[in-house]
A and B are shown apart, each in its own frame.
Chain A
Amino acid sequence: MTVGCASGLIAASALYFSLHLGLYAAVFRKLAVFGSERRILRYHLISAIVFSPLVLSYGLVCDDISALTAAVGLIFAHGVYSLSFLELWALADNSYSIGILLRVMQSGAVSRLRLQSELAEIGRRKKQARLASLSGLHLLRRESGAVKLSTLGLLLSHGLACLVWLANSEETG
């Protein structure tokens, strides 16, 4: 009985993940509204918000520690699935490095200086757009032409600096 409860939950969740991915592959990827990062993020966020309490409730109702353990493991498995999906989707959407590789592929061989000057303009535009977006997310405060981090932005920048320190990376961006 106890093994059946946990394995039933795992089988049902595997079916749910397949349906979630299958629905995107069969229907949503053909819709232009699913071409935005926010929409794709929401597709996975809603799924996680619905899935997590459902499997936890099932684990609690089963009154079996194995089912509860499986439920927590399945929430992490949903995290692995959603993160992998979002990373691949973002890579396909607009990666700067992939843009550089594509530009080199199109021209066969290209001078480094020419490539730098061509792509720097995209960088300039991206920088302006990111400043506006960080300000929209309340991570920055603009005061009479000056830019300052908000409390949330300061916390986030400390976290990011810690990750950069761990990876011993000298140059970011």
Chain B
Amino acid sequence: MWFVYSLCSWFLAVTVHAVLCRLSLPFGTVARFFIAGSGVGISLSCFVCASHGIYSVETFSALSAYGFLCELYLFLSTLAMASISSNLLIRLKGNRLQEQDLIAMYDADRMVAVRIERLLAAGLLAEDSGRLHLTRAGTRIVTGFQRLRAFCRDFERIDTGAERRGG
């Protein structure tokens, strides 16, 4: 039964997200899903805790299942909106196009322009008389990303160090 609660809550979160995405709000798509997902998640937590108790395995499993479904939806949703491959697949739906036409249809300048617009809307970039600069939030994101990259790609530092010592 706990899985039915998780599944229903996830459907509800996706529905609330779809409604929020059709309202004029000062948030991006991901923030809108955080609002919907957190609200429904808190309600689910209260419900399963009241039904099964805080430390029960049913509560743990219901919240794990809900968390996984929400993360998967968010991952696929951002992939569908922001990925180049997804854009190419959507454009080809029901069409048979020449390769050159397909590439020309999806203008590379527009691709960058769309991303800049999204970064401006998310408050990571700001624009003053045609010149773009990072906001404080943008600087924090880039610094965090650089640390993450340094952690995940530690072999690059090791390789560079070995090359320096070697030569």
Contact = CB atoms under 8 A, between A and B. Distances in A.
A50 B130 CA distance: 54
A127 B108 contact: yes
Given A6-B57, A116-B109, A173-B114, A76 B2 contact: no
Contact of A171 (B64, B97, B103, B114): B114
A116 B108 CA distance: 9
Interface residues of B, number: 79
Nearest to A31: B155
A12 interface: no
A149 to B, nearest CB: 5
Contact of B155 (A35, A87, A89, A115): A35
Interface in B40-82: 57-58, 60-62, 64-65, 67-68, 71-72, 75-77, 79-82
What class of interface size applies to chain A in its complex with B? Answer: 35 or more
Contacts of A61: none
Interface of A: 6, 10, 25, 29-32, 34-35, 66-67, 69-70, 72-74, 76-77, 79-80, 83-84, 87-89, 91-93, 95-98, 100-102, 104-105, 108-113, 115-117, 119-121, 123-124, 126-128, 130-131, 133-134, 139-140, 142, 145-149, 153-154, 156-158, 160-161, 163-164, 166-169, 171-173
Interface of B: 2-3, 14, 17-18, 21-22, 29, 57-58, 60-62, 64-65, 67-68, 71-72, 75-77, 79-90, 92-93, 95-100, 102-103, 106, 108-109, 111-116, 118-119, 124-125, 127-128, 130-134, 138-139, 141-142, 145, 148-149, 151-156, 158-159
